């Protein structure tokens, strides 16, 4: 049964239930009159009450179908096969079923396993039958629910109270999605990392200096050591995101914010701020393309011209420079907020003492706004080290521990992309290591964010 | 004293100039980026075609005009590739590739419209190979030696001859806007990626907008101040700052490996981006709700509305423009996002346009990423062209958000 059909069915049930209930509500008003207390709820609430009772059971059944249906069909298809058609292990069954699913969906033109064709036909039959059963079941349940709700309506029935209670439940569920997402992230990262750390010790991962995640398929393969020391990746991430990018972004962002808040005329500010927002809104893949195509060759030519012969075309400097430019609007807007939060009296006091505006900014405003600016910079660092596309496209994959900005380094995010795209067998240390890297990245950015937000908040309260 | 004041004033001027310089660098970079992309990308909307006398002999095609009139489906099996390569061979007598491998599609379309063409020789404008196209657009450095440039001397000679004879023309590149990816740059288009992006964003919007608005209403209007609410708030604020690639890992581990949803499908991409956009929408919606003055709530409560009625009848309509602005900005961010989609496999090479939410698809930024890996000159141009399209979309969406904000913003 298709999603569209299921939605149409739910719409029909909900709409029909609403109209039925509302009609009854209108009839109550007609018979009891409109004096206070004669009818407890307005007709719309009667309608909504019936609609909810019709929708909920039907939707529950359809969701159950979406979650369990595939398993039911698979069990029936497997049971209908001749004995010995599929290997006994879980893995064989999964492989066979995924082939059958591919056939049913039309992904494969022909079957590899001779039994798969027959199984695919059986699958289609079973899917149609179960779809019919669940679809009709959902319709029947919905109709029963609607009738039951409808029969409970009386002039004194507290339909509004009940509908509002359901609304509250809906609101709570919606706000729980955020917690569930956080939980999902933590659970999936921790679970996969745990499997990784069963193969590779955490000490080696966190402190080892060799990174070559190619594990051997055969035992005698050359160059298949499979070293998982992530220190070069951490260094590369810090080098590009927290050092080079910040060397670009902090002065430029801070000076931009100072100019816009302290010097620029309001009309100029009105034009310049949206332009900066455009800079912030350019997708990172565009920055990455620009870094790889224009900035990286320029950096390499520059390096060669100053006599560095082994300059890489995927240098840390190119990626870091472009990332720094990407972060400028972010740093600038954080610094902007921090500077405008400094009480005007402090500025005016300094100016009245005869200090020039620049002296006021340097000696009074910036020291006063420093906690806010530092918080903003920390948030910017957290953003830079989590940034993916620029480093994937411009920084390369060579895990070097180097201080030379013209050399190629790699970062945590670039490695995650490299490890998880392309052919993957899901249980190898190679793919699982991506989740361990993800966990480290998540924890570091989380710590940075929490600390930075706390700093910013404390600073705001100091001046409020 | 005078000297000191002069020095301080000079410092003041320098400081001010430094500020202006910083701003100019930032804006200058943006302009430089735009200029680079437009300069290298605008030609992808232009296509070079060559005039070829195509001889549609029934023998080579394998069908006759009469047979086609009776059953047009026969054309699907006719040998147009052979006809086109024969005609090109006949007309130009050279081994150099002149027309694109996909040029025969245009011939078939022409014959589908007018089966009477079979058996005749018709002059047709056919798409050239990417190399001739790049030559015609002046993208190839002819000063470089043969080994240093992607086209051979023979191709340059053919190009000179053809353009001297006036057999080359440039026109609007319909292929780029209407087809999906291809191995040949001259046949590659962005429509497949654009549609993939559209399908993905539909899923994202359908999930993140209602959930985000409902969560914001709960947190702002109903939630009691307790530990649970604090946890919800902290997790929303943190999710807003989690790197996007982590959401990709979540999508991979949960949607693909645990729930067995189809790989590379817009529905999975949409779900992943929805989780990423959700905190943005919640934060914007909460700000919009906060901006509704309490007096309106008090007035509604005073004449007997319930708290839910206060929200649905008064707060929500007043806060909706702000919520929509936040949602549109969140969608713009989701449209430009690449990394999470790479994680869930939406980087497949697809030559067909996705038709549904569960079919393999790619998205516009991912298409840009895939093409950017390709060193051929034709693809460099296509990458920039796709970036122009993406930026146009983003600018349109952002302008819409700004327009909405200005049009409906109420100052209390």
Domain annotation for chain B: domains and CATH numbers: 43-172 (no CATH), 191-408 (1.10.3720.10)
Q: What is the DSSP string of B227-266?
A: HHHHHHHHHHHHHTTS-HHHHHHHIIIIIIIIS-PPTT-H
Check A441 against B243: CB less than 8 A apart.
Answer: yes
Write down the pLDDT at residue A169. Answer: 93
pLDDT given for residue A378 in this prediction:
93
3-state SS assignment for residue A336: helix
Question: Model confidence at B390, in pLDDT bands (50, 70, 90)?
Answer: very high
| Cα→Cα distances B343→A414, A418, B268, Å | 12, 10, 11
Beta bridge partners of B172: B46
Q: What is the pLDDT of residue A423?
A: 60
Q: Do residues B130 and B184 make contact, with C-beta atoms less than 8 angstroms apart? A: yes
Local structure of B50: helix, strand or coil: strand
Instruction: Quote the CA–CA distance of A157 and A142 in Å, as a whole number.
Output: 21
| Contact list, B282 vs chain A (CB under 8 Å) | 178
pLDDT at position A422: 64
Report the pLDDT value the prediction gives residue B388, as an integer from 0 to 100. 94
Q: Which residues contact B72 (CB under 8 A, 6 or more apart)?
A: B112, B115
Which residues 57-76 of chain A have a CB within 8 Å of chain B? Answer: 70
User: What are the tens digits of pLDDT across the range A116-172?
Assistant: 777 888 888 888 888 888 888 888 999 999 999 989 888 888 889 999 999 999 999
* Cα–Cα separations (whole angstroms), residue B116 to B67, B120, B121: 11, 8, 11
Whether the per-residue pLDDT at B126 is higher than 70: the answer is yes
CB A46 within 8 A of CB A174: no
Which residues on A lie below 8 Å from B247 (Cβ)?
185
What domains can you pick out in chain A, each with its CATH number? 3-157 (no CATH), 227-463 (1.10.3720.10)
pLDDT at A425: 60
- Chain B residue numbers with beta carbons less than 8 Å from the beta carbon of A254 are 22
Residue ranges of A 287-306 with Cβ closer than 8 A to chain B = 287-290, 292-294
CB B360 within 8 A of CB B264: yes
| Per-residue model confidence (pLDDT) at position A215 | 58
* Minimum-distance CB partner of A420 among B21, B250, B252: B252
Tell me how far CA of residue B132 lies from CA of A231, B91, B97, B148, B399, in angstroms.
Answer: 48, 17, 9, 17, 39
Tens digit of pLDDT for each residue in B140-163? Answer: 877 877 777 788 888 888 888 888
pLDDT at B345: 83
Nearest-10 crossing angle of helices A366-386, A412-420: 20
Q: Decide if A160 and B306 are in contact by the 8 Å CB cutoff.
A: yes
Q: Which residue of chain B has the CA closest to A279?
A: B30
- In this structure, of A323-327, B193-197, B260-264, B314-318, the range with the lowest mean pLDDT score is B260-264
Distance of residue A447 Cα from the nearest chain B Cα, in angstroms: 10
Closest approach of chain A CAs to the CA of B322, in angstroms? 18
Contact residues, chain B, for A426 at CB < 8 Å: 257
Closest to A290 (Cβ–Cβ): which among B36, B238, B278? B36
Q: Respond yes or no on whether ipTM tops 0.85.
A: yes
Say if CB B354 and CB B161 are below 8 A apart. Answer: no
Yes or no, beta carbons of B279 and A178 under 8 Å apart? yes
User: Which of B23, B247, B251 best probes binding to A when mutated, by most A CB atoms within 10 angstroms?
Assistant: B23
Q: Is A31 on the interface with B (CB under 8 A)?
A: no
Q: Which of B23, B279, B333 is facing A259, going by the closest CB pair?
A: B23
Question: Nearest C-alpha of chain B: how many angstroms from A83?
Answer: 27
Q: Which two tokens stand for residue A132?
A: 């019919």
Q: Which residues of chain B make contact with A446, given a CB cutoff of 8 A? A: 238, 242
Q: Which two tokens stand for residue B131?
A: 């190399």
Mean pLDDT for chain B overall: 87
Instruction: Report the pLDDT averaged over residues B367-379.
Output: 86
Residue B238 with chain A: CB contacts under 8 Å: 182, 446, 449-450
Query: Binning pLDDT at 50, 70 and 90, where does residue B94 land?
Result: confident
Write down the residue that tokens 């080290």 correspond to. Answer: A385
Tens digit of pLDDT at every position of chain A (464 positions): 567 788 888 888 899 999 999 999 899 888 888 777 788 888 889 999 999 999 988 888 888 887 777 778 888 887 877 766 676 676 777 777 777 777 777 666 666 777 777 788 888 888 888 888 888 888 899 999 999 998 988 888 888 999 999 999 999 999 988 889 989 999 999 998 999 898 888 888 888 888 887 655 555 555 555 688 888 899 999 999 999 999 999 999 999 999 999 999 999 988 888 888 888 889 999 999 999 888 988 988 888 888 877 777 788 899 999 999 999 999 999 999 899 888 899 999 999 999 999 999 999 999 999 988 999 999 999 999 999 999 999 887 878 888 888 888 899 999 999 888 766 566 677 888 899 999 999 999 999 988 988 888 887 777 76
- What pLDDT is recorded for position A109? 66
Look at A174 and B16 and tell me if their CB atoms are within 8 Å: no
The pLDDT value given to residue A426: 61
Average pLDDT over residues B357-369: 89
Q: Which of B214, B249, B339 sits opposite A189 (nearest CB)?
A: B249
Q: Which letter does DSSP use for residue B53 in this model?
A: E
Query: CB neighbours of A447 closer than 8 A, spacing ≥ 6?
Result: none
Predicted pLDDT at B367: 93
Taking residue A347's Cβ as centre, other Cβ atoms within 10 Å add up to 19
> What sign results for the dihedral spanned by CA atoms A55, A61, A67, A69?
negative
Give pLDDT tens digits for B223-274: 888 888 888 888 888 888 899 999 999 999 888 888 878 888 899 999 999 9
- In this structure, what token pair is assigned to residue B152? 């051979």
Question: Which residue in chain A has the smallest CA separation from B243?
Answer: A386
Residue with tokens 């050239």: B128
Which 8-state DSSP code applies to residue B298? Answer: H
pTM: 0.88
B217 chain-A contacts, CB cut-off 8 A: 171
Mean pLDDT, residues B49-73: 82
pLDDT-derived band at B130 (thresholds 50, 70, 90) equals confident
Strand B121-127 to B168-172 pairing: unpaired
Note the pLDDT of residue A436.
93
């Amino acid at each position: 049964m298709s999603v569209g059909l299921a939605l149409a069915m739910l719409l029909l049930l909900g709409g029909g239930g609403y109209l039925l209930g509302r009609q009854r509500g209108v009839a109550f008003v007609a018979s009891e009159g409109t004096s206070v207390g004669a009818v407890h709820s307005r007709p719309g609430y009667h309608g909504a009450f019936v609609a909810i009772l019709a929708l909920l059971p039907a939707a529950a059944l359809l969701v159950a179908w979406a979650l369990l249906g595939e398993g039911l069909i698979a069990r029936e298809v497997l049971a209908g096969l001749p004995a010995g058609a599929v290997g006994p292990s879980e893995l064989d069954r999964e492989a066979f079923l995924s082939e059958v699913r591919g056939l049913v969906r039309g992904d494969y033109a022909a079957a590899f396993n001779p039994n798969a064709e027959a199984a695919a036909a059986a699958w289609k039959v079973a899917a149609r039958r179960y779809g019919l059963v669940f679809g009709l079941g959902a319709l029947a349940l919905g109709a029963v629910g609607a009738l039951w709700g409808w029969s409970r309506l009386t002039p004194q029935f507290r339909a509004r109270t009940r509908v509002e209670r359901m609304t509250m439940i809906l609101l709570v569920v919606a706000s729980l999605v955020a917690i569930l997402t956080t939980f999902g992230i933590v659970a999936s990262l921790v679970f996969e990392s745990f499997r990784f750390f069963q193969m590779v010790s955490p000490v080696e991962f966190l402190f080892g200096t060799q990174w070559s995640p190619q594990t051997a398929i055969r035992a005698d393969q050359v160059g298949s050591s499979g070293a998982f020391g992530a220190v070069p990746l951490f260094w590369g991430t810090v080098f590009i995101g927290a050092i080079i990018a910040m060397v670009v972004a902090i002065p430029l962002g801070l000076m931009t914010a100072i100019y816009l808040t302290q010097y620029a005329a309001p009309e100029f500010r009105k034009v310049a701020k949206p332009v900066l927002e455009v800079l912030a809104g350019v997708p990172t893949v565009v920055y990455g393309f620009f870094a790889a195509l224009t900035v990286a060759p320029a950096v390499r030519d520059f390096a060669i011209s100053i006599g560095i012969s082994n300059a890489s075309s995927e240098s840390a400097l190119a990626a870091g420079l472009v990332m720094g430019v990407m972060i400028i609007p972010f740093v600038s807007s954080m610094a902007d907020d921090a500077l405008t939060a400094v009480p005007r009296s402090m500025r005016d006091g300094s100016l009245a003492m005869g200090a020039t505006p620049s002296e006021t900014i340097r000696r009074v405003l910036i020291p006063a706004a420093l906690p806010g600016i530092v918080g903003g910079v920390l948030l910017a660092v957290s953003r830079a080290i989590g940034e993916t596309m620029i480093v994937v496209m411009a920084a390369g994959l060579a895990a070097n521990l180097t201080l030379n900005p013209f050399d190629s380094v790699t970062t945590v995010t670039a490695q995650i992309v490299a490890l998880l795209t392309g052919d993957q067998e899901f249980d190898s240390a190679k793919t699982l290591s991506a989740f361990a890297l993800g966990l480290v990245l998540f924890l570091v950015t989380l710590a940075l964010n929490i600390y930075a937000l706390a700093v910013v908040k404390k600073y705001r309260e100091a001046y409020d | 004293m005078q000297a000191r004041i002069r020095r301080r004033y000079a410092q003041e001027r320098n400081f001010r100039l430094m500020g202006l310089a910083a701003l100019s660098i930032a804006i200058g970079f943006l302009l430089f980026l735009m200029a680079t992309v437009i300069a290298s990308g605008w030609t992808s909307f232009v296509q070079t075609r060559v005039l070829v006398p195509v001889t549609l002999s029934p023998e080579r095609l394998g069908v006759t005009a009469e047979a086609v009139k009776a059953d047009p489906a026969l054309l699907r099996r006719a040998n147009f590739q052979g006809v086109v390569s024969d005609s090109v061979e006949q007309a130009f007598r050279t081994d150099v590739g002149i027309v694109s491998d996909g040029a025969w599609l245009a011939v078939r379309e022409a014959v589908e419209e007018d089966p009477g063409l079979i058996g005749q020789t018709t002059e047709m404008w056919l798409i050239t190979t990417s190399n001739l196209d790049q030559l015609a657009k002046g993208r190839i450095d002819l000063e470089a030696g043969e080994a240093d440039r992607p086209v051979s001397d023979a191709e340059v000679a053919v190009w000179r001859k053809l353009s001297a004879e006036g057999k080359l023309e440039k026109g609007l590149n319909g292929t780029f806007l209407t087809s999906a990816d291809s191995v040949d740059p001259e046949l590659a288009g962005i429509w497949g990626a654009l549609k993939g992006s559209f399908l993905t964003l539909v899923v994202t919007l359908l999930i993140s907008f209602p959930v985000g608005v409902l969560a914001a209403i709960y947190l702002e209007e109903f939630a009691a101040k307790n530990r649970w609410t604090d946890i919800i708030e902290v997790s929303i604020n943190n999710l807003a700052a989690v790197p996007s690639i982590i959401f990709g890992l979540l999508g991979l581990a949960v949607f693909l490996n645990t729930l067995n949803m189809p790989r590379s499908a817009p529905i999975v991409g949409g779900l992943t981006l929805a989780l990423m956009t959700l905190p943005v929408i919640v934060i914007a919606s909460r700000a919009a709700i906060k901006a509704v003055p309490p007096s309106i709530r008090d007035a509604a409560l005073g004449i007997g509305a319930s708290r839910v009625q206060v929200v649905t009848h008064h707060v929500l309509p007043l806060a909706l423009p702000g919520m929509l602005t936040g949602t549109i900005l969140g969608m713009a961010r989701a449209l430009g996002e690449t990394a999470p989609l790479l994680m869930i496999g939406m980087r497949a090479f697809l030559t067909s346009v996705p038709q549904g939410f569960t079919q393999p698809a790619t998205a516009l930024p991912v298409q840009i990423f895939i093409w950017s890996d390709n060193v051929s000159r034709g693809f460099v141009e296509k990458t920039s062209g796709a970036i122009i399209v993406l930026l146009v979309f983003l600018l349109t969406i952002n302008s819409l958000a700004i327009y909405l904000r200005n049009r409906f913003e109420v100052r209390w």
